[in-house]
Amino acid sequence: MHNKSITDLAKGLRSGEFSSVELTQAFLDRIKRHSSLNCYITVTEDLALQEAKAADDRIAKGDATLLTGIPIAQKDIFCTQGVKTTCGSKMLDNFIAPYNATVVEKFNQAGGVMLGKLNMDEFAMGSSNETSYYGAVRNPWDLNAIPGGSSGGSAAAVAAGLAVCATGTDTGGSIRQPASHCGITGLKPTYGRVSRYGMIAYASSLDQGGPMARSAEDAAIMLQVMAGFDERDSTSVDLPVPDYRAELNNSIEGLKIGLPKEFFGAGLNSDVAAVIEAAVNEYRKLGAHIKEVSMPNLKLAIPAYYVIASAECSANLSRFDGVRYGYRCANPEDLTDLYTRSRGEGFGKEVKRRILMGTYALSAGYYDAYYIKAQKVRRLISDDFKKALSEVDVIMGPVAPSAAFGIGEKIGNPIEMYLSDIYTIAINLAGLPAMSIPAGVVGGKPAGLQIIGNYFAEHRLLNIAHQYQQVTDWHQQSPKDFE
């Protein structure tokens, strides 16, 4: 049952082939069996079975959605009332959220069953899921490889069949990159499409929640629940939410695809490039037209991103001071000692690095030179995308320069680690929607195709991804030890 789609599982639940309690228990058993992946920080077994029983009652009454009774998991960045919410950090190891994030609330209303909270890079800062206080997550395709980050726990759980689907967040590629490395489908919506209320902030102008699932169809079902205006989030956009499944089967004949020449230069692994070329050829067969486009300011994306994201992280994480909630040092001598030791002991190395970079960029004398300049570069990058998307319908390219690298391989070299997000970061700076879909295997590990669309065109991206998944089976493949 763990390899079935949401639609197939929903049919089984309605026909009485199995109950939500039976389905949920099957997933809980798999989670216990494969605990070595380290996907979950918290498994909510009792709560899951309670929710499953309530879902069965709801199905019996004929009051069910497609997600009613479906076992899902939440990235541990979304607040969950009465359940520990850690953000992968020692700082929040003892934090029990007093309310639900809007995304969690919406899944509860739809009748989804929460299996637990998923491991992640600390405060979503990382590209490999190695910065978590709870240890690295392992890639189910290669247990010695990283699953990607920061939503590595979400990607690994879905790939290994330890959840039907999962939520993720994407600040600079943290849905798409782990989706690519674990061979699943991941969608970063347009900034403002999914509420950030109750989603613990890293970089407020970049963070966006989104779905992670096996297929584009499952991602569409999830996004239908997640998307929509929320008055509690000042960055939420008040636009109607389309029916994301309605257009999945539309023909894509005549689709204009742009390939940025800057995506295919030095640094891209040749085998990954071959995977992308093969995927683009499949789109040619479906009637798409291919055109080269140029975005000359993409080379500035990484420095601009790390100035902006670090500055916002410095501001957002200032609230964790050992006073109101979270980790507090033992026996502080005075207020300064309380602040200094609580933050020094509670945050990990990567989080401290970004706080320091961000505080420096925002400090007197450097604000104009770094932060303001980075925001001007951000506009140039956004303009590059607008120009390209005026010529083509979507942009395609790689998600990451290579397949998943080994655990420990880059953790000691921050610059090399940051470069692993070179193809994803610019999309967050522009606020555009983008997704990763499985497109091939490199050295026994998955590689994804990235599809980038115009603002609020998630329905189009899902349609394009779904059409590819109708003629290929990469999204149906599972790691051999988790079939």
Burial group, residue 253, by CB count within 10 angstroms (0-12, 13-18, 19+)? exposed
User: Which of residues 434 and 419 earns the better pLDDT score?
Assistant: 434
Q: Which of 19, 20, 75, 106 is catalytic?
A: 75
Percent of the chain beyond pLDDT 70? 100
> Which residues make Cβ contacts (< 8 Å) with residue 319, sequence separation at least 6?
none
144 DSSP 8-state letter: T
136 DSSP 8-state letter: P
352, 289 in Cβ contact below 8 A?
A: no
What's CA 284's distance to the chain center, in Å? 28
Query: CA angle, corner 48, sides to 59 and 139, nearest 5?
Result: 115
Q: Which of 174, 180, 420, 436 is catalytic?
A: 174
Q: Is residue 215 flagged as an active site residue?
A: no
Q: What is the CATH number of domain 6-255+392-482?
A: 3.90.1300.10
Q: Phi and psi for 128 in degrees, rounded to 5?
A: -140, -5
Provide the pLDDT for residue 22. 98
Indicate whether 457 pLDDT > 90: yes
pLDDT, one tens digit per residue, over 19-28 is 999 999 999 9
Q: Is residue 75 flagged as an active site residue?
A: yes
What is the C-alpha to C-alpha distance for residues 349 and 340, in angstroms, rounded to an integer?
15
- Retrieve residue 463's tokens: 């349609």
In the block, tokens 């849905």 appear at: 175
Provide the pLDDT for residue 266. 87
- Retrieve residue 102's tokens: 């809007």
Indicate whether 9 pLDDT > 90: yes
Provide the pLDDT for residue 1. 81
Q: Which stretches within 320-400 are classed as H helix?
A: 335-346, 349-362, 373-391
Q: Is residue 174 flagged as an active site residue?
A: yes
Confidence of residue 285 (pLDDT cuts 50, 70, 90): very high
Domain boundaries along the sequence of the chain: 6-255+392-482
State the average pLDDT over residues 462-472: 98
What's CA 310's distance to the chain center, in Å? 19
pTM beyond 0.95: the answer is yes
One-letter amino acid identity for 167? T
96, 81 in Cβ contact below 8 A?
A: no
pLDDT, one tens digit per residue, over 209-238 is 999 999 999 999 999 999 999 999 999 999
Confidence of residue 276 (pLDDT cuts 50, 70, 90): very high
In the block, tokens 């992968």 appear at: 88
Indicate whether 342 pLDDT > 90: yes
Percent of the chain beyond pLDDT 90? 98
Angle of the 270-285 helix axis to the 458-471 helix axis, nearest 10: 90
Q: Which of 150, 151, 195, 342 is catalytic?
A: 150
11: part of which helix (H) or strand (E)? helix 6-15
Query: CA angle, corner 44, sides to 43 and 45, nearest 5?
Result: 95
Provide the pLDDT for residue 483. 85
113-118/165-169 β-pairing: unpaired
What's CA 435's distance to the chain center, in Å? 10
